[in-house]
């Protein structure tokens, strides 16, 4: 019954809009459409100029993660993976282009702590380190998703660096 009422209301509104639209001169219509189009494009240009770096980074990264078929991840896990990838991309050690592996240098200690989401000021115990390592590896292990083998290797390297640091 509700659908009939909603349909009737929509049709009545549509009728009055079309009736109003038919009474407007074509010149006024084209000027209005042109003005609205220019305003919307200017607004989008300003929006992308100011916030484009932030607006486009997270969605594209999340879309890329969806392409590598990571299954069963919550939003919090996706955000932590996003932070991991951004840390590696900023240091030049990760790129979504698989053919670019020009920087095989090892990680710094601070980067290793950041990758494992550990506080560099507090020296973690081996148990804490293993828990953080396993938490990340459960998400990106190559057995779960073969496309994440490079990320897994970087996390392994980070674990070894932190192990050397706490020993």
Same domain? For 72 and 143 the reply is yes
pTM over 0.75: no
Answer yes or no: do 111 and 40 share one domain.
no
Let me know if residue 15 belongs to a domain.
no
* Beta-sheet strands, E only, within 37-77: none
Which has the closest alpha carbon to 140: 129, 132, 148? 148
Give 56-92 pLDDT, tens digit per residue: 666 666 666 555 555 555 666 667 777 777 777 777 7
Q: What are the pLDDT digits (tens) for 139-160? A: 787 777 666 777 888 888 888 8
Residues 126, 156 within the same domain: yes
Average pLDDT, the chain: 77
The SS3 call for residue 120 is coil
Q: Are residues 47 and 73 in the same domain?
A: no
* Confidence class for position 100, pLDDT limits 50, 70, 90: very low
pLDDT at 8: 93
Whether residue 147 sits in one domain with residue 119:
yes
86/34 same-domain check: no
> What is the count of structural domains for the chain?
2
pLDDT number for residue 25: 86
In a domain, 47, yes or no: yes
Domain-embedded: residue 17:
no
Q: Are residues 153 and 112 in the same domain?
A: yes
Give yes or no: residues 132 and 90 share one domain: yes
Q: What is the C-alpha separation between 86 and 94, in angstroms, rounded?
A: 9
Amino acid 102: pLDDT = 46
Asked if residue 85 and residue 130 are part of one domain, the reply reads yes
Q: Is it the case that residue 15 has pLDDT exceeding 80?
A: yes
Domain of 46, in residue numbers: 27-56
Choice between 84 and 39, residue whose per-residue pLDDT is larger: 39
In a domain, 87, yes or no: yes
Specify if 12 maps to a domain: no
CA-wise closest residue to 128 among 163, 161, 79: 163
Other beta carbons less than 10 A from residue 121's beta carbon: 6
Same domain, 88 and 32: no
């Amino acid at each position: 019954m509700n659908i009939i009422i909603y349909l009737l209301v929509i049709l009545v509104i549509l009728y009055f809009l079309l009736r109003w639209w038919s009474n407007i001169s074509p010149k006024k219509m084209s000027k209005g459409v042109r003005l609205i189009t220019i305003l919307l494009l200017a607004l989008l240009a300003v929006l992308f100029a100011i916030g484009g770096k932030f607006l486009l980074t997270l969605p594209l990264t999340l879309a890329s993660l969806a392409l590598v078929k990571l299954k069963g991840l919550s939003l919090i896990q996706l955000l932590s993976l996003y932070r991991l990838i951004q840390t590696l991309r900023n240091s030049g050690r990760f790129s979504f282009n698989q053919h670019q592996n020009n920087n095989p240098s090892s990680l710094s200690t601070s980067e290793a702590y950041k990758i494992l989401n550990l506080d560099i000021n507090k020296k973690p115990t081996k148990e804490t380190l293993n828990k953080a390592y396993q938490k990340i590896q459960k998400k990106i292990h190559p057995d779960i998703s073969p496309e994440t083998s490079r990320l897994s290797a970087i996390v392994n390297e980070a674990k070894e660096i932190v192990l050397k640091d706490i020993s």
